[in-house]
Amino acid sequence: MAGAGTGKDAAEGSLPLCSVCGKPAVYFSRVSGTHFCDTHFLSWFEDSVRTTIRDCGMVGPGDTVAVALSGGKDSSVLLEVLHRIFSDDTSVKLVALTIDEGIAGYREDTVAAAERLAARLRVPLRTIAFPDLFGKTLDELVPGREQVACSICGTLRRRALTTLAREEGATKLATGHCLDDESQSAMMNYLRGDLTRTLARLSPGAQDSFVPRIKPLRYLSEREVVTYGMLRNVVLPLPECPYTRFALRADVRKMLGTMEYRYPGTLMKILQGQEKLSGKFSAGQDSAAVTPCPVCGEPTSGELCATCTLLDSLGIRKP
Amino acid sequence: MVPVAKDFVFRKPMVILITSGERKHVITVIFPDKSRKEFAGEGMTGEELLLELGLNPYETILSRNGGIIPEDTRIFSGDKIRLIAIVHGG
């Protein structure tokens, strides 16, 4: 979708103008009070991702970056923007990874979207399905456990991504988590009273895996990510995951969405507060507290890793 | 800067849903589920329209006649406004 705006609109004063160049605007940032036209919004967005990658040391020469590509809007935007940033950099390789969890009526369309995007950008794509690793689809695992569907899916999907990333020789695993996701996760951890996750899980590049995870979109809001995706034509109308309505995240998302509208900048303040807190905590911690899981060998801070604990509770042995 | 409304409660309608009769001077709103409704209401901003419809402007992107517009854009009769929900599972 192109940016709107005609000369007539601007002349009539119905359409706000870009704060940079004076052309008709497509986006208004409530936080900074800035209007952007399509050209300046796209360049601002891509510069923001570049800055995050550089300042957080997310990607360097020689890296193979595995991009978790669900085919939904966030991950599609992530692949598009990383492709643009690194298309001229032969020292960095991109590979896309798609996990088919087996969610009828939802995943078929998003997997097809992922395949189309990877083909258009000429980024190699690896796909794997839950039954290949865990013996069952998510639809087969969830009945009777709908309230924790997203937790089951997230844990198994992380393991599937780590497995594929390692097989592809990736040195980084990039996910499309944006500011909304990160601030929601921080708030959910508070609401659950989960001090361990509150203090440990939200660093810019989590090191709890042998393949370090990076989140280049974590300082950009969902609204900005969707706008970018629409302007770049990578966001398509797709079905909604049928399990999201059961999750605590749905309620937290609604609450924080209201707060962000009424008090612009709330999401960023939550994330920044979280980073200060985990920064102070991790400064005094011993990283050797992470040990290999005795069942699968993945790093864990407990006795069994989260995936093996979950597989045991579901009656499924290690993949 | 757009003034920040303090609640989303529908109070005094600025827009009037047109169900029959005169259809020449209308704003057509296409909802995320692709349903359409026609409203009368001249010169309100996109943000005001969303609040009147009970939607959170942070969670909705507007397009007018096929192109994205900021929420502080004024809307006039003849405009076709599509609402895009940014919240989505996936």
Global pTM reads 0.86
Percent of chain A with pLDDT over 70: 87
Question: What is the predicted pLDDT for the residue at A11?
Answer: 43
Which CATH architecture fits A50-288?
3-Layer(aba) Sandwich (3.40)
Q: How close does chain A come to B86, measured CA to CA in Å?
A: 6
- Whether A202 shows a pLDDT value over 70: the answer reads no
Average pLDDT over residues A168-187: 95
**B70: nearest CB among A26, A243, A253:** A26
Q: How confident is the model at residue A261, as a pLDDT? A: 95
For residue B85, the surrounding DSSP H or E stretch is: strand B80-85
What crossing angle do the helices spanning A306-313 and A149-167 adopt, rounded to 10°?
Answer: 130
**Segment 9-38 of chain A within 8 Å of chain B by CB:** 9, 13-16, 25-28, 30, 33, 35, 38
A1 is written with which tokens? 């979708």
Among chain A residues, CA nearest to B67:
A4
CA distances from A246 to A230, A250, A316, B56, B80 (A): 28, 7, 23, 21, 34
In the prediction, which pLDDT does B50 show?
93
Beta bridge partners of B67: B64
Q: How far apart are CA B74 and CA A254, in angstroms?
A: 26
Confidence of residue B17 (pLDDT cuts 50, 70, 90): low
**Chain B: residue nearest A223 by CA?**
B86
Task: With H, G, I as helix, E, B as strand and everything else as coil, classify residue A171.
Answer: coil
Return d(Cα A299, Cα A168) in angstroms, integer.
19
pLDDT reported for residue A131 = 92
State the Cα–Cα distance between residues A145 and A148, nearest whole angstrom: 6
Q: Are A107 and A62 in contact (CB under 8 A)?
A: no
Of A59-68, A114-123, A212-221, B11-20, the one with minimum mean pLDDT is B11-20
Chain B residue nearest residue A100, CA to CA: B90
Residues forming a β-bridge with A17: A24
Cα–Cα distance, A92 to A115 (Å, whole number): 21
- Residue A297's pLDDT is 82
Interval A280-291 mean pLDDT: 62
pLDDT at A13: 57
Q: Residues A207-222: what's their mean pLDDT?
A: 86
Kindly identify which residue of chain A lies nearest to residue B5, measuring between CA atoms: A262
Q: Which of B1, B8, B70 lies closest to A25 in CB terms?
A: B70
Q: Give the pLDDT confidence score for residue B38 in this predicted structure.
A: 87
Least confident of A59-68, A155-164, A203-212, B51-60: A203-212
pLDDT tens, position by position, A130-176: 999 888 898 888 887 777 788 888 899 999 999 999 999 999 999 99
Mean pLDDT in residue range B51-80: 92
Over residues A185-209, the mean pLDDT reads: 70
Quote the minimal CA–CA distance from A260 to chain B in Å: 7
pLDDT given for residue A283 in this prediction: 57
pLDDT of residue A141: 86
Amino acid at A291: T
Distance CA A225, CA A121 (A): 18
Compute the nearest-CA separation of B73 from chain A (Å): 5
Task: Kindly indicate the confidence band of residue A69, based on its pLDDT and cuts at 50, 70 and 90.
Answer: very high
What number is the average pLDDT over the span A75-100? 96
Nearest to A142 by CA among A134, A153, A129, A133: A153
Mean pLDDT on A233-238? 78
Model pLDDT for residues A5-30, shown as the tens digit of each residue:
444 454 455 789 999 999 999 999 99
More confident residue, B82 or A2: B82
Residue A288 or residue A271, greater confidence: A271
Chain B environment of A223 (Cβ under 8 Å): 58-59, 61, 86
Is residue A85 predicted with pLDDT exceeding 70? yes
**CB of A95 within 8 A of CB of A67?**
yes
- Rounded Cα gap, residues A229 and B29, in angstroms: 22
Residue spans per domain, chain A: 1-36, 50-288, 290-319
Closest CA to A269 of A163, A187, A194: A187
Contacts of B5 in chain A (CB under 8 A): 262
CA-only gyration radius of chain B, Å: 13
Inter-chain CB proximity B8 and A38 less than 8 Å: no
Q: Which residues of A touch B71 (CB under 8 A)?
A: 28
